[in-house]
Structure 1
Amino acid sequence: MTDEIKRPSRAGKEILNASKPQIERLQRRLFLRQGLSLGALVMLTGCDYGSLAENDGLDRLLRTMSGFNDRVQALLFNPHRLAPTYAASQITKPFPFNAFYGIDDAPDIDPDAWKLEVSGLVSDKTPWTVQRLRGLPQESQITRLICVEGWSAIGQWSGVPFRAFLERIGADTTAKYVGLKCADKYYSSIDMATALHPQTIMTLDFGGEPLPGAYGAPMRLRVPTKLGFKNPKYIQALYVTNTYPGGYWEDQGYNWFSGS
């Protein structure tokens, strides 16, 4: 065995020199992230990067692990495998509201005045109205939304297949990411393979009716192959890019890929 193999890494030395509370925090976070290395749908609400500021080495290590997990999940992602679908009798009623704010603080957007801004690596940057989106082919699905907080709910979602929309605007589908900006100051992004997945849709209707305000009207992205926080609501703008866009929760420590 060479000296290089015997010698602890810099990260390893930092761990060995860390205090007991720091070690305990690291163990908890390693446990949470371990499941995600295989694309498991588990939550990362225990990640508190503010507390890790005490030790930059631990912070760098966790961010490196998170990036590694993203790459592993992307390699394991099957763009042809569908998420489970359900019968109408299995729909959750009432379907829960969920956000980082209360329902009374949810955006109230006039669907007749709303326009979707399009930018980045696309050939047609013309804004889209709800009426124009409804003129595109529509699909419906009954799928389960899985939240990092530990609950799940089944709903019926209808709208425009995201692949069809991206093709319509001349998006560069060899690009890495699609970023999304929302009216509630939320933002997120997904990988292009997920954007092109046949079940990823620009949702305009819920339960056969126009999408209610509580669920993201006038348009949200429904991505049944990813955790709930990767399904942004109240979308106002999207862009195609090769520059990593991050996300509201991802920039606070959540695993970016967060899918299966």
Structure 2
Amino acid sequence: MTRLTRRQFLVGSSLGASALALGGCDLLGSNDQTQTILGSAETLTMTVQRLLQSRGALAREFAEANVSPTFRVNGTSAPDSEEYARLREDGFQSWRLTIDGLVERPQQFSLLDLKALPARTQITRHDCVEGWSAIGKWTGVPLGSLLKSVGLKSSARYAVFHCADELEKTLDGSGRYYESIDLIDAFHPQTILAYAMNGQDLSIGHGAPLRLRVERQLGYKQAKYLMRIEIVESFAQLWGGGGGYWEDRGYEWYAGI
């Protein structure tokens, strides 16, 4: 009899629910009962994960020898906006990460600012909702330390990551990639804003100059080309209200593994 590990169980559960949400979106997307079932499955996934492990439990980390020889580029390979082209041309010297919203001290950070802060390096496995995995070595700033530096207001609940890549041309901006996590995952020790991969600055394909690594969730949560982190109380004012580009189109918001 085959025994599933906890990680395999959670990955399978997340993939299955996501596949149902996407594969049947045309037929079932407008069915309120179906949406309720999918929402319940997502809540169950999050509840099970957080019952099985403590808030600070770490995703598995690997040795240097386990780093994958190739690591596929997921999502956008390069944003095509004029703004990003200018940033890329000057080597991201003029790029700034803005942190605002429900914070006491909104701030902007250059890439040099971030690299001057205490860093964390971790070798972890990236699990894509498409079914492939790869192990990479990531270096960056713990997100929690940045959030502490700006001070969160009492109503803060979520960190929203606004990105430079636009996957769908829309007048209202809803086609621009964004993601979000709650503050439990935001302050997790393995949640970092990575500026290096495998000992080198991030490549364009892998999210330069900065990307999110939230190691206990699936690949689509690992937002690339970060421009702004907005701290919010809810997703009500964010485009489709799902908390992310793909979530607005049927993916689960909580993609824990």
TM-score (norm 1): 0.77
User: Quick check: 1:74–1:257 contact (8 Å CA) kept in 2?
Assistant: no
Number of equivalences: 222
Tell me the SS of whatever aligns to 1:42.
helix
Aligned twin of 2:197: 206
Q: Equivalent residues in 2 for 1:19-34 (5 A)?
A: none
Match of 2:232 among 241, 245, 249: 241
Alpha carbons of structure 1 residues 205 and 64: separation in structure 2 relative to 1, 3 Å: closer
Deviation at 1:124, TM superposition (A): 1.6
Aligned twin of 1:232: 223
Alpha carbons of structure 1 residues 173 and 82: separation in structure 2 relative to 1, 3 Å: farther
User: Quick check: 1:180–1:189 contact (8 Å CA) kept in 2?
Assistant: yes
* Rounded Cα–Cα distance in structure 2 between residues aligned with 1:85 and 1:71: 21
The answer for unaligned runs of 5 or more in structure 2 is 1-8, 166-175
CA RMSD of aligned residues (A): 2.4
Aligned twin of 2:144: 163
Over residues 60-105 of structure 1, what are the superposed CA-to-partner deviations in whole Å (9 max), with x where a residue is unaligned? Answer: 4335424533662575362211000111111111211110x4x366
* Rounded Cα–Cα distance in structure 2 between residues aligned with 1:87 and 1:58: 46
Aligned twin of 2:21: 47
User: Quick check: 1:52–1:58 contact (8 Å CA) kept in 2?
Assistant: no
Match of 1:117 among 83, 88, 98: 98
Q: Equivalent residues in 2 for 1:1-260 (5 A)?
A: 40-43=13-16, 44-48=18-22, 49-53=25-29, 56-66=31-41, 68-69=43-44, 72-73=47-48, 75-76=50-51, 78-99=54-75, 101=76, 103=77, 108=85, 109-110=87-88, 111-172=92-153, 175-184=156-165, 185-244=176-235, 246-260=243-257
* Rounded Cα–Cα distance in structure 2 between residues aligned with 1:226 and 1:173: 26
Deviation at 1:191, TM superposition (A): 1.0
* Rounded Cα–Cα distance in structure 1 between residues aligned with 2:39 and 2:61: 35
User: Quick check: 2:45–2:256 contact (8 Å CA) kept in 1?
Assistant: no
Higher strand proportion: 2
Over residues 120-163 of structure 1, what are the superposed CA-to-partner deviations in whole Å (9 max), with x where a residue is unaligned? Answer: 11112121110111121111010001111111100000010111
Over residues 181-237 of structure 1, what are the superposed CA-to-partner deviations in whole Å (9 max), with x where a residue is unaligned? Answer: 100021110011001000110101111111111100000011111111111000111
User: Quick check: 2:78–2:205 contact (8 Å CA) kept in 1?
Assistant: no
Asked which structure has the greater CA Rg, the reply is: 1
Give the fraction of aligned pairs with identical amino acids, expressed as a percent.
34
TM-score (norm 2): 0.78
